[in-house]
Amino acid sequence: MYKVLVGEYIDDEAIAGLLKSDDVEVDVKVGISRGEILNIIHEYDALIVRSVIKVDKELLDKAKKLKIVGRAGNGTDNINIPEATAHGVIVANTPDSNTVSACEIAIGLMLASARNIVAANNYIKSGKWEREIFVGSELFEKTLGIIGLGRIGSLVAKRMKAFGMNLIAYDPYISDEIFKRNGCKKVETLDELLEKSDIITIHTPKTKETVNMINAENIHKLRDGVRLVNAARGGLFNEEVVAEGLKNGKIASFGYDVHTVEPRSECILYEFENAVATPHIGATTYEAQRNVGTQVVRQVLNGLRGEIVETAVNLPSIGREEFLIVKPFINLAEKLGKIYFQIEKAPITNIAINYYGEIAEQETALVDSTAIKGILEPVLKEEVNYINSKSLAEKRGINISINKKDHKYENYSSAIEFIINNEDGKKVNVVGTIGMNNEERIISLKNYNMDMAISDNMIYLGNDDVPGVIGAVGATLGKKNINIATMNVGRRENSAIMLLTVDSEVSRESLEELKRLSQIKWAHYLDLTI
């Protein structure tokens, strides 16, 4: 039974989800004092916070059982990430909880400013009726420049593609595959985007590189009559420069939800009817508020149960769509990793993880961490997790290399290969792939080619390549009431291996029976649930 402390408010529906879990005991202590949380945190496996509770070294030193901290929101300023990582504690936030809401406010501002909706609304409510003074501009076939093609920028791209817009994007930190997937032409420089766009929307964090991206030095690069949208962070576009552009007609309109100073009652932009402003309401939807709670609960439960925490900030960051692509390989890598210490006992000196084909084109850092966790877990048990696996390996003197190959492994579209060297001078290699319906498959083990689905319970045999072996193995297991589900044979010269999936656990006694067969050189039971 895991104990979860909810120290700050989350949605009632999210709390209900926690309470329904059979393996979780929940204490809701909204508004808990610093002194109290320090006195009781040693009892808990998980902690849920928003922005008030400080998760610092003092708290983490006392949190002896803590496995995960869930931040109900995006920012993690109140959490000491390096200290949490050093303590082996996963920190997860909810970056996707408001992505749709943020995307939709950006599109709403784009439409409102292009069609003069706010000005027309105010005009008609003042008792007047005219249409000619509110001539707007269609979005159809206009070029939309997207600065930042992350979670929100990608959503905007997909939706505006349906409007028939031409999409270009600038993001030096995103792979070419993401541009293709979102139907965006990649531009190599910000200047190129500024020069080619009819409408520009920005979706980046606020950093030294992104502050004042539209400034006095580059405003002349904009097309005449360009329309700007900022629903990301205040200050990404210089407000004074934008105001001057609105005044002289360089900028046709500006839609913005975020401000350099918040809250505020005065702004140079307020005097312009073609500047449409909202008071930072991008995440202010019923859905977003509910999603914050339900998402943080889901991530916390995943962390407690040893499953992948998609939004862990002290694990490699990955977008939801990218995660869906690599997720099957994450699970595959962990299972393949668990094989080594079940067939060899010597300490490891080197681990090489090789990616082939399409998977080599993806961000695989999360797969790397998971693979190493899988390799070490049969020995280290709960001591190893997704965030500390690499550091634990390095502390044990294990050299790790990650290699992306620009070719396929034989005829497989994607494959992962582990090559593990040990202190006895032996080398163990195992290769796996994802088949139809996301089926996890082993395609090579110790340089013996095969192709079979991975099961929780497997038997790995080395045997003489002579008649009668398969029958003898089947008969032996049959006597022990162990049913063989599938069998695959790998052959090389005069030797062979057999890999069997079975419907139940295999006892030590049953394994010894197999070893006593004259044709069998070795026998290992592979339990991939450990």
Distances (CA, A) of 417 to 86, 141, 352: 29, 46, 8
407 and 528 housed in the same domain: no
Q: How many domains does the chain have?
A: 4
CA distance 58 to 184: 47
| Predicted pLDDT of residue 318 | 64
Residues near 29 by beta carbon (within 8 Å), at least 6 away in sequence:
5, 6, 7, 36, 37
Strands 46-49 and 68-71: parallel
- pLDDT tens digits for the chain (530 residues)? 999 999 998 888 899 989 999 999 999 999 999 999 999 999 999 999 987 899 999 999 999 999 999 998 876 778 998 888 778 789 998 877 888 999 999 999 999 999 999 999 999 999 999 998 999 999 999 999 999 998 899 999 999 999 999 999 999 877 788 899 899 999 999 999 999 999 999 998 777 778 999 999 999 999 999 999 999 989 999 999 999 999 999 999 999 999 998 888 889 999 999 999 999 898 888 898 888 999 999 999 998 987 878 788 887 666 667 777 888 998 899 999 999 888 888 889 999 999 999 999 888 888 998 899 889 888 776 567 777 788 778 877 889 999 999 899 999 999 999 999 988 889 999 999 999 888 999 999 988 888 989 998 899 998 888 888 899 999 999 998 999 999 988 887 778 888 999 998 888 899 899 999 988 898 999 888 87
182 and 229 housed in the same domain: yes
> What string of H, E and C letters represents the secondary structure of 266-323?
CCHHHHCCCEEECCCCCCCCHHHHHHHHHHHHHHHHHHHCCCCCCCECCCCCCCHHHH
115 and 164 housed in the same domain: yes
Distances (CA, A) of 505 to 62, 90, 191, 438, 483: 40, 32, 63, 24, 10
115 and 242 housed in the same domain: yes
Identify which of 379, 378, 386, 398 has the alpha carbon closest to the alpha carbon of residue 331: 386
Q: Which helix (H) or strand (E) holds 402?
A: strand 399-404
Q: Which two tokens stand for residue 329?
A: 């390989």
CA distance 61 to 87: 8
Q: Which two tokens stand for residue 403?
A: 């290699």
| Predicted pLDDT of residue 381 | 67
> Which CATH number characterizes residue 467's domain?
3.30.70.260
485 and 520 housed in the same domain: yes
113 and 261 housed in the same domain: yes
Q: Which two tokens stand for residue 86?
A: 């050093």
Residues near 36 by beta carbon (within 8 Å), at least 6 away in sequence:
29
Q: Which of 233, 259, 298, 441 is flagged as catalytic? A: 233
Residue 222 DSSP class: S
CA distance 251 to 397: 59
Q: Which helix (H) or strand (E) holds 367?
A: helix 365-380
465 and 397 housed in the same domain: no
Catalytic residue at 262?
yes
Distances (CA, A) of 30 to 4, 53, 73, 472: 13, 10, 16, 64
Q: Which domain holds residue 528?
A: 455-530
> Which CATH number characterizes residue 45's domain?
3.40.50.720
State in Å, rounded, how far the first CA of the chain is from the last one: 19
Residue 379 DSSP class: H
107 and 149 housed in the same domain: yes
Q: Which of 415, 434, 454 delimits the end of a domain?
A: 454
Q: Which amino acid is at 27?
A: D
Q: Which amino acid is at 138?
A: E
| Predicted pLDDT of residue 194 | 97
Q: Which amino acid is at 485?
A: A
44 and 108 housed in the same domain: no
CA distance 366 to 388: 12
Residues near 482 by beta carbon (within 8 Å), at least 6 away in sequence:
502, 503, 504, 506, 510
104 and 251 housed in the same domain: yes
Task: List the strands of the sheet with 520-527, edge to edge.
Answer: 484-492, 495-502, 457-464, 520-527
Q: Which of 262, 266, 493, 509 is flagged as catalytic? A: 262
Q: What is the largest CA-CA distance in the chain?
A: 100
134 and 178 housed in the same domain: yes
Q: What are phi and psi of 386, to 5 degrees?
A: -65, -30
| Predicted pLDDT of residue 81 | 84
Q: Which of 422, 438, 454 delimits the end of a domain?
A: 454
CA distance 414 to 408: 7
Q: Is 358 exposed, middle or buried (0-12, 13-18, 19+ CB in 10 A)?
A: middle
Q: Which of 280, 320, 344, 361 is flagged as catalytic? A: 280
Give buried/exposed letters for 436-449 (b at 16+ CB in 10 A, else e).
Answer: eeeebbbbbbbebe
Kindly provide the residue ranges of all beta strands, DSSP E only, lying in 320-363, ordered along the sequence: 348-357
Distances (CA, A) of 184 to 161, 174, 296, 385, 426: 9, 12, 31, 37, 48
SS3 198: coil
248 and 132 housed in the same domain: yes
Partners of 70 in beta bridges:
48, 92
pTM given for the model: 0.57
Q: Which of 314, 332, 361 delimits the end of a domain?
A: 314
